[in-house]
Amino acid sequence: MNRGPPNPRMFKFQPNPKVKNRFQDEADLRSLRSFKTDFSNYLASDTNFLNVAEIMTSYAYGESNNANEKEIQCDLLTENGGIEIDPTRLSYRERIRWHLQQFCYKTSSHGIPMLGQAPNSLYRAVWVFLLLICAIQFINQAVAVIQKYQKMDKITDIQLKFDTAPFPAITLCNLNPYKDSVIRSHDSISKILGVFKSVMKKAGDSSAEATDDGVEYDMDGITIQARRRRKRGAGEKGTFEPANSACECDEEDGSNECEEKSTEKPSSDNDMCICAFDRQTNDAWPCHRREQWTNTTCQTCDEHYLCSKKAKKGTKRSEIKKEPCICESKGLFCIKHEHAALVLNLWEYFGDTEEFSDISTEEREALGFGNMTDEVAIVTKAKENIIFAMSALSEEQRILMSQAKHNLIHKCSFNGKPCDIDKDFELVADPTFGNCFVFNHDREIFKSSVRAGPQYGLRVMLFVNASDYLPTSEAVGIRLTIHDKDDFPFPDTFGYSAPTGYISSFGMRMKKMSRLPAPYGDCVEDGTTSNYIYKGYAYSTEGCYRTCFQELIIDRCGCSDPRFPSIGGVQPCQVFNKNHRECLEKHTHQIGEIHGSFKCRCQQPCNQTIYTTSYSEAIWPSQALNISLGHCEKEAEECNEEYKENAAMLEVFYEALNFEVLAESEAYGIVKMMADFGGHLGLWSGVSVMTCCEFVCLVLELLYMAVTHHITQERIRRRENAANDF
């Protein structure tokens, strides 16, 4: 059957620019004419083959190909005789299967293409087994990697930086919080000190023992026989000490000796003398007027603290030890005595407690002395009572009762240059130590040492006025705290005590710590918390514990602990309120118990600066030094003695101009985890990030096909239902 030329409407070809001129060459046309293949089985007998070849080489695939709605459907014959299948012509399940098969051929993952190209079932089963083994190994390794990451381990890097370190803030306090001459005018303090004196007396009486015989001492041929009295256990057995006493002196006989009246309070300084007092026998002898005693240095002292200014002949040089002592004017009688130590007042030691009989029994019980017999514990309790009593006053009143700035700080230099005491020192009122003064308090001004060593740090001379100390002040000297500018000093916890009569050197080294927050660590990031009671200062662990304790006391007792700042304007616990004091003491002991029900959770700050300190001291001032404190009009030797009793010299400096930096970092972070994860993926299955993208695209294609199929089926059902309705 003869057919006419092809209908051009049935084949709407589009030109292909790549092959448009492929057969324009005459040599190519001649090659085609010599082609002898028999196409009679495929084409009509009257088909012009050369014309068809030119058309096929000039145009690409026909528009009818891969179009389901066209009347003529064509499949392209491939070079190897196969057929390029149009997936849109397949059924839904066959199309899914075809996509999965194509993915096996094209994926970059190792092993999966072998499943699609397997020639038989045994070959395919072997590869399935190998893939399962690799998958199991990968899962085990992946679980181990994830567990390692979830441990959130961290490492600490330590670096030593040679750079200029900022100079810290230095807080200076007198060990005596309030002036004795001023504070006694307060009724509560007067009652507390009265009870304190009576309790101390009873504590001494409770340890007294009767002595059968008098005790004799021999000093340079003079025999001293102590009168038989009851023994008081406050002092070392059989030792002398200087003591103030009311005396009656008879100067007509020329002996210059006075008769002590230990139980009477002197009406004036003219009626006061100094006696050699023995606490073992309560004997006070000899007694001389105060101006007849002189602080000096003795070469030898015996076990009874009786000294000689010059050693006896024949004394070995190794036995000569210079000891501080006090001697009467003729130098025949000397007693070992630290010049900075307080002198005992005998009228207080033997004092009458009826003077303070106006205090009620409930008030006595509230003070908490109870049946205490240990003098150290009694002094500690008395200090606490004074803090409670002073909390009832305003801050301005407490400041006036403590030592003023210029009374404490007399001389100062930093980096070898004089300080401006008014500007460089800021007042901080501390409940325990009264007025404290902070050097380098301004956070906007950067101070640093030019060099290492004491000459390029802070050097300050302080006058404590030991004669105006409270009877509860156990030591004479200065409390020093080294801290960062942003931190509260906490002198009662982190301070160092420096004695008078010495130059105390504090060598510093700085450490900066940087901790990781959660999930690697447990620290406070912002440097403060919402309920932190030390407003204006950076967060610290000590401040957190005090905040926690204050919250507990306010919640349980209805009042605040006066040793710490209050919260929400809650009034401090009253010193003579028995319920307040008992509640406070009860919960103070509870919070310190290991198995207590209340625990404070306080984290470390994420960024912290720590100063480690080394301490050394030397006797100060030297005999050759002549420094005026502004009010000493005596001879240089006498002024030096006054400095030894009332003044202290401090040096605070960097030992080296370098500092340590301790920084925490993550030991196994997300980057290392992803690297290990990818390494195991590549090792066991040859999978990379691009391979994962291939799997994602496969899933998206399958979802798209499923959604499209269900939408098409829904439309067909709707059309069928509509046709049935008609």
What's CA 276's distance to the chain center, in Å?
51
Q: Which amino acid is at 682?
A: G
pLDDT level of residue 349 (50, 70, 90 thresholds): confident
Give the fold, CATH level 3, of 169-194+373-660. Acid-sensing ion channels like fold (2.60.470)
Among 7-21, 117-131, 213-227, name the most confident range.
Answer: 117-131
Tell me what pLDDT residue 295 has: 87
Q: What is the pLDDT of residues 259-308, one digit of tens each?
A: 888 878 888 878 889 999 887 778 888 898 888 888 888 888 888 888 98
Q: Strand 216-219 relative to strand 323-328: parallel, antiparallel, unpaired?
A: unpaired
The average pLDDT across 616-645 equals 77
Tell me what pLDDT residue 159 has: 92
- At 272 the three-state DSSP class reads strand
Q: How far is CA 709 from CA 28, 69, 73, 700, 714, in A?
A: 48, 18, 22, 14, 9
Structure tokens at 527: 């440097």
Per DSSP, the residues of 362-386 read: HHHHHHT-TT---HHHHHHHHHHHH
Other beta carbons less than 10 A from residue 711's beta carbon? 10
C-alpha–C-alpha distance, residues 629 and 636, integer Å: 11
Tell me what pLDDT residue 351 has: 62
Task: Check pLDDT > 80 for residue 630.
Answer: no
Q: What is the pLDDT of residues 507-530, one digit of tens each?
A: 999 999 999 998 888 899 877 778
Q: What is the pLDDT of residues 596-611, one digit of tens each?
A: 556 788 899 999 999 9
Tokens 């008081």 found at: 232
Tell me what pLDDT residue 300 has: 86
Task: Check pLDDT > 90 for residue 570.
Answer: yes
Beta strands in 620-708 (DSSP E): 647-654, 659-666
Task: Check pLDDT > 90 for residue 554.
Answer: yes
Tell me what pLDDT residue 575 has: 94
Task: Check pLDDT > 50 for residue 226.
Answer: no
Task: Check pLDDT > 80 for residue 211.
Answer: no
- Cβ distance 288 to 258 under 8 Å? yes
Task: Check pLDDT > 50 for residue 707.
Answer: yes
The average pLDDT across 198-205 equals 79
Tell me what pLDDT residue 353 has: 45
pLDDT level of residue 409 (50, 70, 90 thresholds): very high
**Percentage of residues of the chain with pLDDT beyond 90:** 37
- Cβ distance 501 to 340 under 8 Å? yes
pLDDT level of residue 232 (50, 70, 90 thresholds): very low
Which residue, among 662, 659, 660, has the nearest Cα to 521 in the 3D structure?
A: 662
The average pLDDT across 40-61 equals 58
Q: What is the pLDDT of residues 69-120, one digit of tens each?
A: 555 555 554 444 445 677 777 888 888 888 888 888 888 888 888 877 778 8
Q: What is the pLDDT of residues 157-190, one digit of tens each?
A: 999 998 888 999 999 999 999 999 899 888 899 8
pLDDT level of residue 30 (50, 70, 90 thresholds): low
Of the listed ranges 6-15, 385-394, 478-487, the one predicted with least confidence? 6-15
Task: Check pLDDT > 50 for residue 221.
Answer: no
Task: Check pLDDT > 60 for residue 201.
Answer: yes
Beta strands in 415-501 (DSSP E): 417-418, 425-430, 434-439, 458-463, 477-483, 496-499
Which residue, among 238, 444, 413, 436, has the nearest Cα to 336 in the 3D structure?
A: 238
Give a three-class secondary structure readout of 534-551: CCCCCCCHHHHHHHHHHH
Tell me what pLDDT residue 510 has: 95
C-alpha–C-alpha distance, residues 595 and 539, integer Å: 27
pLDDT level of residue 653 (50, 70, 90 thresholds): very high
Angle between helices 26-33 and 49-58 (to 10 degrees): 130
pLDDT level of residue 726 (50, 70, 90 thresholds): low
- Cβ distance 546 to 694 under 8 Å? no
Q: Which amino acid is at 555?
A: D
Helices (H), 393-464: 395-401, 405-408, 421-424
Task: Check pLDDT > 50 for residue 215.
Answer: no
Task: Check pLDDT > 50 for residue 236.
Answer: no
Q: What is the pLDDT of residues 571-599, one digit of tens each?
A: 999 999 999 999 999 888 887 665 555 67
What integer best gives the mean pLDDT of the chain? Answer: 81
Per DSSP, the residues of 684-698 read: HH---HHHHHHHHHH
Q: What is the pLDDT of residues 438-466, one digit of tens each?
A: 999 999 999 999 899 999 999 999 999 99
Tell me what pLDDT residue 635 has: 74
C-alpha–C-alpha distance, residues 493 and 486, integer Å: 17
**Percentage of residues of the chain with pLDDT beyond 70:** 79
Domain with CATH 2.60.470.10 in the chain: 169-194+373-660
Of the listed ranges 121-135, 274-288, 626-640, the one predicted with least confidence? 626-640
b/e 341-379 (16+ beta carbons within 10 angstroms → b):
ebbbbbbebbbeeeebeebeeebbebbbbeebeebeebb
Task: Check pLDDT > 90 for residue 681.
Answer: no
The average pLDDT across 633-639 equals 73
Of the listed ranges 9-18, 361-370, 560-569, 671-680, the one predicted with least confidence? 9-18
Tell me what pLDDT residue 4 has: 46
* Residue 16 C-beta-side C-alpha neighbours within 13 Å: 14
Tell me what pLDDT residue 84 has: 63
- Cβ distance 723 to 716 under 8 Å? no
| Selected residue with higher pLDDT from 633 and 305 | 305
Task: Check pLDDT > 60 for residue 16.
Answer: no
Give a three-class secondary structure readout of 60-120: CCCCCCCCCCCCCCCCCECCCCCECCCHHHCCHHHHHHHHHHHHHHHCCCCCHHHHHCCCC
The average pLDDT across 345-352 equals 74
b/e 487-513 (16+ beta carbons within 10 angstroms → b):
bbbbbeebbbebbbbbbbbbbbbbebb
Q: How far is CA 353 from CA 197, 235, 356, 365, 411, in A?
A: 8, 21, 6, 16, 43
